[in-house]
Structure 1
Amino acid sequence: MNTLAPAPSNEAARTATPMSEQTWTFTSFDGTELFYRHWQPAQPAKRTLVMFHRGHEHSGRFVDVVEALGLKDTQLFAWDARGHGESPGERGYAPSFGAMVRDVDMFIRHLTEAHGVATEDMVILAHSVGAVTVASWVHSHAPRLRGLILATPALRVRLYVPLAIPGLRLLQKLRGKRKTFVKSYVKAKMLTHDPAQAASYDADPKIAKAIAVNILLGLHDAGSRLIDDAGAIQTPTLMLSGGSDYVVSLNAQRNFFDRLGSPTKKLRVFPKMYHDVLHEADREPVLDAIRGFLDERFAQSAKESALLDADEHGFTFNEYQWLNTQLPTLSPKNLFYLAQTAALKTLGRTSRGVRLGFDTGFDSGKSLDYVYENHAQGSLGIGRLLDRAYLDALGWRGIRQRRLHLHEMIGHAITLAAQDRPEEANVHLLDIAAGCGRYTLEAIKAVEGTGVSATLRDFDPANLEDARQHAESLAVNDVSYEPGDAFDAASLAGITPTPDVAVVSGLYELFPENAPILESLKGLAAGLSAGGYLVYTGQPWHPQVEMIARTLPSHRGQSWVMRRRTQAELDQLVRAAGFEKVQTLVDEWGIFTVSLARKVKP
């Protein structure tokens, strides 16, 4: 429906042209219809600002901010997150923090499709919880935004109760799948010095004071990940912080800002302001900072940091060099990892998964296939218990979620390819490093009837034999198996039949250098049909990267030392080879990504 925004306040008197407001909904990934507002100036907008509210609140809280900003040539959007405002769902609840991040991705994709706004022409303004949600999306999805404004990001919430986070984790474990909520202690007078704004907050019936425990814990974990890996974020960023914020930690914001990878970044701390800097008394300096940042970003052409040589310098290169450096022999950390390695090689081998990892490499196709099966096995009684703990490690849980995302993305790519070529008899799929083939064959089985043929390639004939047996057990036909080098560009460019969909899973993450990755991608681009699709995986972050490097062997018999490749770096390699990314999926913990790109037609 269309509505007129309230008359401009004195603060916004600078704008003679009123903004018109429209309200819409969009469909998120699980079918939920989420509400959003769209403000347009009278003249066609040249710029776009997308706003995300803080926890407990809703897009209606931005109405006066839109007026006060008085932007004459900017269209603005603001949503109601699920469980907030006009959007459906239990108040303060979402299935997970990761679901909220995926909602952000779906919203931005909707704006590009429904309103014709490219991400390169967007600046995002996000507040508090919304800022952490958006920053998590930027970290894992690497959108090509014009700029990012983070207002008092809730990277670390001040809970004031000793051991609050461990206590909430215990409570969540005891409650199982039952929903648990905590009520916010935050009063309006802790948010703003402005009595009128505080009264408005208290009187707003759409503000939900409770938050689900799973979201609070997810927010805490996402904040930790962002602080730890802020170097991955290359988007030009303005941070706005309250120097007297009782709600979130200013030190956490400073730590994040110091590590932020963007070459263009600013931090403005307003010493006397509380948490809600957008509704503080004398908020004009905050609004001026927002306007100034918008003017700066849109006065310059959209650029991104060049990352094709990130394997030679930068923070992931430095981390890789450090992981390849031997720790001092008698240092506590070295002694700890030596003891852990000894335990894994002795008692740990009673676990079938650990034994398989030492025999074939923890990154081998056979190890991953065992993780996919997720059936604990072991010897001497204790082996099965140890194997269960091994299979439940966070990284392996992420691997199993990656498998589900691969199913979804491969199926989506097959469907798109079939729609693009309705006259063709079938869609041909190529997996250049299939391992045991489980995820690809299962994805093909799930779209049975679409008309799919496939070629599975791998360097190890034993893996191809396992894949053949999997295909027989699944009754998947029309599949051929070929030994092949995934980095031989000429071989990939000349493969027959011509593939419409190419899959590269769990391969590029194992190699630190970018040159062979780019050659492989160029070979795929040359070999794919016009407008064909590429499904590729990444590992932009891992919480146990040092433990893995110090204790576990790879399939090459050496220490499994990974150079993490950020999503922005991986996407640039894909783009340099002749593809354009369409979509990314990421697990709840931000470890593994699965992306879809399309070959750019000449």
Structure 2
Amino acid sequence: MVREWSGRAPGWIALVVHGYGEHSGRYQWLAEQLVSARAVVVAPDLPGHGESPGERVLISDAEQVVADLDAVRREVSERYPQLPVVLIGHSLGGMFAVRFAQEHQDELAAVVLSGPVLGTWHVLDLLECDEIPQAPIDPSTLSRDPEVGREYEADPLVWHGSFKRATLRMIDRCLEAVNDGPALRLPTLWVHGEDDELVPEADTRTGIDRVRGLDFYEHVYPGARHELFNETNRAEVVDEVLTFVGRELNT
């Protein structure tokens, strides 16, 4: 399942990768802002997520996700061959985005990472349990706007159950691969919430420091939680993203 948004006279492609347990439909508002800035937005549902097939939230192979993302990129680039591609990854989608960028640096113009899972992640401690406990994501960690949490809880396409062991093992392997992979030569913007309890900024930084290149920018937003594109200051965040993209694409 791939959602797409576009307007008149597009000038660039935004490939958006959502986070664990959610789906691309939650990025409607972000897509509208990007389209207003002349983007064609494509956002696939990850395997086992949203409207994509497969056992719910089961992802066993990160490299297959990277290959799937590249297939989406190639398909939209065939339709818009002159447009540069900007990869935007949130949370677990940020991990996949970095791995994709490491393997396909020449196919991208820039990368934006929002609260990415990099370095270490405390959720992986669940692998030490004989049985994975029921530990669904706390909606209050997503945004200071309580409506975001309420909509998340009520969304039937969001997974509200426990983590799958195979998925946690995949994340562990992928983080090791990212850490051992090349630094990003691409222009990269990393944004994070200072009060992100789900993916703490300090843990992400340990991974960021392994992959950051020379053309790298970061902004930690005071008081913000995990979903910066759904935060109370989301307009400010998107403005920074669009300023970064405009500068790098000279638009």
C-alpha distance in 1 between matches for 2:45 and 2:202: 29
Q: Which amino acid aligns with 1:38?
A: E
Match 1:288 to one of 228, 235, 239:
239
Q: 1:147 to 1:206 in 2, by over 3 A?
A: same
Q: Is the 8 A contact 2:88 2:111 kept in 1?
A: yes
C-alpha distance in 1 between matches for 2:198 and 2:3: 27
Q: Which residue of 1 aligns with 2:122?
A: 158
Match 2:11 to one of 43, 46, 53:
46
Residue by residue over 1:314-371, the C-alpha shift from the partner in whole angstroms, topping out at 9 and shown as x without a partner, is xxxxxxxxxxxxxxxxxxxxxxxxxxxxxxxxxxxxxxxxxxxxxxxxxxxxxxxxxx
Q: Is the 8 A contact 2:37 2:242 kept in 1?
A: no
Matched, 1:123 2:123: no
1:278 Cα offset (Å): 1.1
C-alpha distance in 2 between matches for 1:55 and 1:123: 21
Identity %: 25
Alignment of 1:562-573 (within 5 A): none
Q: Which amino acid aligns with 1:128?
A: S
Match 1:219 to one of 137, 149, 171:
171
Q: 1:60 to 1:91 in 2, by over 3 A?
A: same
Match 2:151 to one of 200, 214, 222:
200
Residue by residue over 1:556-597, the C-alpha shift from the partner in whole angstroms, topping out at 9 and shown as x without a partner, is xxxxxxxxxxxxxxxxxxxxxxxxxxxxxxxxxxxxxxxxxx
C-alpha distance in 1 between matches for 2:76 and 2:34: 22
1:228 Cα offset (Å): 4.5
C-alpha distance in 2 between matches for 1:78 and 1:184: 27
Residue by residue over 1:141-168, the C-alpha shift from the partner in whole angstroms, topping out at 9 and shown as x without a partner, is 4343110001111123223x9x544x26
Q: 1:202 to 1:233 in 2, by over 3 A?
A: same
Q: Which runs of 5+ in 2 are unaligned?
A: none
Matched, 1:133 2:99: no
Matched, 1:61 2:26: yes
Match 1:234 to one of 185, 197, 207:
185
Residue by residue over 1:504-526, the C-alpha shift from the partner in whole angstroms, topping out at 9 and shown as x without a partner, is xxxxxxxxxxxxxxxxxxxxxxx
Q: Is the 8 A contact 1:182 1:213 kept in 2?
A: no
1:276 Cα offset (Å): 0.9
Residue by residue over 1:454-508, the C-alpha shift from the partner in whole angstroms, topping out at 9 and shown as x without a partner, is xxxxxxxxxxxxxxxxxxxxxxxxxxxxxxxxxxxxxxxxxxxxxxxxxxxxxxx
C-alpha distance in 2 between matches for 1:79 and 1:63: 13
C-alpha distance in 2 between matches for 1:205 and 1:277: 22
1:80 Cα offset (Å): 0.8
Q: Which residue of 1 aligns with 2:213?
A: 262
Q: 1:271 to 1:289 in 2, by over 3 A?
A: same
Q: Is the 8 A contact 1:234 1:260 kept in 2?
A: no
Q: Is the 8 A contact 1:47 1:74 kept in 2?
A: yes
SS of equivalent residue, structure 2 residue 88: strand
Q: 1:274 to 1:258 in 2, by over 3 A?
A: same
Residue by residue over 1:367-418, the C-alpha shift from the partner in whole angstroms, topping out at 9 and shown as x without a partner, is xxxxxxxxxxxxxxxxxxxxxxxxxxxxxxxxxxxxxxxxxxxxxxxxxxxx
C-alpha distance in 1 between matches for 2:197 and 2:107: 33
Q: 1:259 to 1:98 in 2, by over 3 A?
A: closer
SS of equivalent residue, structure 1 residue 78: strand
Q: Which amino acid aligns with 2:24?
A: S
Q: Which residue of 2 aligns with 1:370?
A: none
Q: Which amino acid aligns with 2:11?
A: K
Q: 1:86 to 1:221 in 2, by over 3 A?
A: same
SS of equivalent residue, structure 2 residue 163: strand
Q: Which residue of 2 aligns with 1:250?
A: 201
Structure 2 length-normalised TM: 0.89
Q: Which residue of 2 aligns with 1:561?
A: none
Match 1:96 to one of 41, 55, 61:
61
Q: Which amino acid aligns with 1:265?
A: F
Asked which structure has the greater CA Rg, the reply is 1
1:69 Cα offset (Å): 4.8
1:131 Cα offset (Å): 0.9
Q: 1:291 to 1:183 in 2, by over 3 A?
A: farther
- Which one scores higher on RCO, CA 8 angstroms, separation ≥ 6? 2
C-alpha distance in 1 between matches for 2:106 and 2:56: 29
SS of equivalent residue, structure 2 residue 36: coil
1:183 Cα offset (Å): 4.4
Q: Is the 8 A contact 2:121 2:203 kept in 1?
A: no
C-alpha distance in 2 between matches for 1:133 and 1:273: 23
Q: Which amino acid aligns with 1:222?
A: C
1:88 Cα offset (Å): 1.0
1:59 Cα offset (Å): 1.0
Q: 1:142 to 1:218 in 2, by over 3 A?
A: same
Structure 1 length-normalised TM: 0.39
SS of equivalent residue, structure 2 residue 170: helix
Match 2:72 to one of 83, 102, 107:
107
Q: Is the 8 A contact 1:91 1:211 kept in 2?
A: no
Q: Which residue of 2 aligns with 1:356?
A: none
RMSD over aligned CA atoms reads 2.3
Q: Which residue of 2 aligns with 1:148?
A: 111
C-alpha distance in 1 between matches for 2:37 and 2:180: 39
Alignment of 1:281-320 (within 5 A): 281-299=232-250
Aligned positions, number: 249
Q: Which residue of 2 aligns with 1:86?
A: 51
